[in-house]
Amino acid sequence: MQSEKRPLMTLQICPTFALSNKYKHSNIKTMNKLTVKDGTEIYFKDLGTGQPIFFHHGWPLSSDDWDAQMMFFLEKGFRVISHDRRGHGRSTQTFQGNEMDTYAADVAELTEFLDLKNAIHIGHSTGGGEAIRYAAKYGKGRVEKVVLISAITPYMIQDERNPDGVPLAVFDDIRHNTRHNRAQFYQDITFPFFGYNREGAEVKKGIQDNWWRQGMMGGIKAQYDCIKVFSETDFTEDLKSVDIPVLVLHGDDDQIVPYATTAVKAAELLKNGKLIIYPGFPHGMPTTEAATINADILAFIES
């Protein structure tokens, strides 16, 4: 019996995933990855319309760490953008370019590609350094305000210029554990990160697991290199050079980035800065204290 001939099926692309005009670019490979000039693929999320807010995540995490903020500000009518820094999350696991100037240059390529103007840049921890470096070097005409949360600015490490900083031995220990025991270390560090080692703390394993998941998605070489970046990069001149409004938020129980040598000094260096110190809040306060942090950022944006 002769089999029935059937017409060849053609692939239909769902309009939801069709490449929109704002993503038509020679360097784009997929809807959510931009290939920057050295060939590194930078993963990003871009949701909503309205004034753009660009989020910069901390070490060794990804854009997923901003879920609470992305949802909140999206529902408030903002366009929300976040990316996975090179070597982190779903971006290329790079073995080079893992330093702050390249991080900021990657953001500059992405923001130019997305044509972001009058944007609010919000950075947590290492991302705070990235946000202020980007604003200082590339932000003219594109950045309206900056928010630094639990940020490493202006300078973390203890030396003759910063006698109250964090001793090098602390960062050497982080390097050792990242290199030799990353999977276990990324579980252990969640306790001081979220203040879960404090008496009476309500430990949420899902939050710990999500931190671990994000960390293990990234490349070990890039994350190892980034320890030097967040501990030794000096952002003094970046802070001095920006004249746009900058909000500095920090918890006084931050066990990762001590507030007295970072937030307080950063606010003093800024021309147009505002400082809020939260009693008892931990380093990971954008997650554990999202309602408070989001409300204060919104008030700052609207002021």
Beta-strand pair 33-35/28-30? antiparallel
Q: Phi and psi dihedrals of 170, rounded to 5? A: -65, -45
Determine which helix (DSSP H) or strand (DSSP E) holds 35, and give its type and residue range: strand 33-35
Which of 125, 231, 238, 250 is an active site residue? Answer: 125
Which of 46, 106, 238, 254 is an active site residue? Answer: 254
CB 165 within 8 A of CB 261: yes
Structure tokens at 204: 């949420």
The H-assigned helical ranges of 116-219 are 126-138, 168-188, 190-193, 205-217
Report the Cα–Cα distance between both ends of the chain, in Å, rounded: 78
The amino acid that residue 159 corresponds to is: D
The C-alpha atoms of residue 144 and residue 90 are separated, in whole angstroms, by 28
Which of 57, 238, 283, 296 is an active site residue? Answer: 283
Catalytic, 125? Answer yes
Q: What residues are labeled active site? A: 125, 254, 283
